[in-house]
Structure 1
Amino acid sequence: MRGCVIHGADDLRVEDLPEPVAGPGQAVVAVRYGGVCGSDLHYWRHGGVGDFLLHEPMVLGHEVVGTVVSYGRGADGPAPGTAVAVHPATPCGACPECLDGRANVCRDTRYLGSAARTPHVQGGFAARIAVPADQLRALPEGLGLRRAALAEPLSVALHAVRRAGPVEGKHVLVTGAGPIGALVVAALRAAGAAAVTVTDLLPRALEFAASAGATTLVRADEPADPGRPDEVDTAIEASGAAAGLDTCLRLVRRGGTVVQLGMLPPGMSPFAGNLVVSREIELRGALRFDAEFDEAIELLAREASFDALVSAVVPVERAVEAFALAADRSQSCKVLLDFGG
C-alpha cells in the first residue's frame, strides 16, 4: 500500500505502508484523492508548521475522499462501497471549548496529518486509512470524488465567512487568492455578498478567484490599481502575510469586521493596531471548522463551478512533483494526489 511520508524538510517519500485494520469504532476507507494543503507544504519545505515540528516520520494529508471498505467492532456508517468524504478532526468532546459548541478550537483535538502532538497523528495520504467511523460523510448523488476533495478547504472558508457575520448585500475584501482565498470568494457569493474584491500579487491566482465569483480583481503590488476600493464593509485576510492584514485594516469601514484566516508567520507580526481602536474595528480569528463540513458537501453538490479550482491531478507516485506544483501559485490552485481505484 502506497503512502506519502514526510521525514523532515525536503524529505518527502512515497513508501510501502502496512494495510490498516479497522479497530473498534473505526472504518477503513480506500482513498481516491487527497488535496495538497498549505500545511502539507510547510511540513515538506520546513519540517514543521509554526510551532509544530516533526519529531518522527508522519503520513501527510487531511483533505481526503474515497470509498468505504469495512468497519471494526461496534462501528456503523455508510455501506461498504459508498463514496465518502472524511472529516479530519476528532475533538475530545469534554473540554470547555467542545462543551461550548466550539469543537474547532478543542484544546485536545486530533487532526489527520498533524505534528501538534507526539506521537503524531498520521494523515490520509495513503491508499487505505483507518479513521473513526463517525468522521465519514456519504456523498450526495451527483457529487463526484474529484470535486468532493474540496470539502475540507471549503469548510475552512465557510467557517471564516461565518466568523465575519452577516455578509448579505455587503462589499467584502479578500486578501490572498490562493486555494483558500478562492474558496472564501465562493463561500461569500453563496452567502449573498453583493461584491467581492480580491487582491493578490499573481495574475494566475486572480484568475482562479474570478472563476470562484470575484467581482473585482486587484494587483496587491499596484497601489494605483483602479479596482482598489476606498472602503469595504468586511474584510477576510487569507494570505497569511502581515501586509494583507494591514490592507484589510486600512480599507474596512469604521465599525467593520476583519477576519484573520491566513496563518501568519511564527512570532510577532506587526499590524496597525491603532486602527482597531480609532475605528473600532472588530478583529477576529478563524481556525478550521466543525459542522461546516456538511454544509460544504451540500454546496459542492449544487455548484459545478468548483471544478475549475482543481488545477491538477497527479498520481501518488509523483508526489514530490505534485507538491512542487502546489507550491507554485503562478501555475496552480488546488492540486490533488490520485491514489487510484
Structure 2
Amino acid sequence: MSQGSNFVDYVKVCCRSGHGGAGSSHLHRDILTSKGGPDGGDGGRGGHVIVRGNAQFWTLLHLKYRKHIIAADGESGGSSLRTGKNGKDEILEVPLGTIAKDAETGEILFEITQDGETKILTSGGRGGLGNWHFKSSTQQTPRFAQPGEEGQEVWNILELKVLADVGLVGFPNAGKSTLLSVVSAAKPEIADYSFTTLVPNLGIVAYRDNKSFVMADIPGIIEGASTGKGLGFRFLRHIERNSVLLFMIPADTSRTIQEEYQILLHELTEYNPELTHKPRILAITKADMLDEELQQEMAKELPAGIEAVFISSVAQKGLTELKDLLWKEINRA
C-alpha cells in the first residue's frame, strides 16, 4: 500500500452517545420494615463519544471504515440508593491538528492540538433521578422515578490539518520533496513529473545543538487551486497550520521568479487572506544550475519584502543558511 492510500485527512462518522439509565422507584423493605421510604438510586450517565489527541498518529486512516461510533448506555439505578453504572465512553484517537465539525451545519466544534487532549464530541444522556429525590412532606413514598435522558445521534466530520513549523509552498516540481528528503529522514516519493506528492509528507529537520523543527511538504499548488481546481482545497487546508511558509521557486522556471511568487501568493490570499500574515521565506531551488554572475543578476529581480536564499538540495548548497533563516522565523514569535 503506497503512502498516498495510507494518508486520510477527512472522515465523516455517525456518532451515537449512550442513553442515560433510568432512576429506580424502589421502596425500602427489610425484615423489620414492611413499608419503608423511597430508596431508589439514580441511573448512570450514557457513554460519551470522546476525541483524544495522540502524537503517534499522522492520519485518520484508522477511522476511515468506522462509519458508526456507538457508546454504551448507562445502567438503571438500584435499591438502597445505588447509582447505576455509567455507560462506557467511546474514545477516538486522532492526530494533532484534527478539527471536529458538525456535518450538517459545517460549524467547527473544536480542534485538538495537544497530545492527550480530550474533547467530548457527542454527550451521553444524563441518568434519571431515583424516587428518593421526590420525597416531600406531602408525598412520603413517591412510587415514580425519572427515565434516563436519550443519547444523541449526530453526523460529524473529522478533518486533519497538518501541524508543522514550516510548510513548503510551490508549484509541482519546485523541488519540495527533494529538499525534505535531504534535510530530514523523510522519504517522500520523488519523480520528474507533476503531482508526485499527493499527500503531505512530514519530516523532522535536525538543527544546531540537537534542536529540530517539523517541515511539511504540501502537495504542489496549481493556478486556480483557491477556487477548488485540481485538489486545491485539500492542499491549501494543510498550509493553514504551518508557522512559517517557505515559498520554493525553481531557478529554471518558465516565468520570472517575481511572477511565480505573485501567483503563489494570490492563490493563498484567495483561499484565506489570513495566510498572508504568516512569516514567509523564499528559496530559489536548483541553484546548482546557476553560475555566480547569473545568480547575482537574478538576485536583483527578486520580490521585495521577503528574505530569499539560493539553494540546491542535490549539491547541498545554501541549506545551512536556509535552516538558519527558518529557525529565526520560527522562534520570532
TM range (shorter): under 0.3
Greater percentage in helix: 1
Normalized per residue, the structure richer in strand is 1
Q: Which gives a bigger RCO, structure 1 or 2 (Cα 8 Å, sep 6+)?
A: 1
Report the TM-score, using the length of structure 1 for normalisation: 0.23
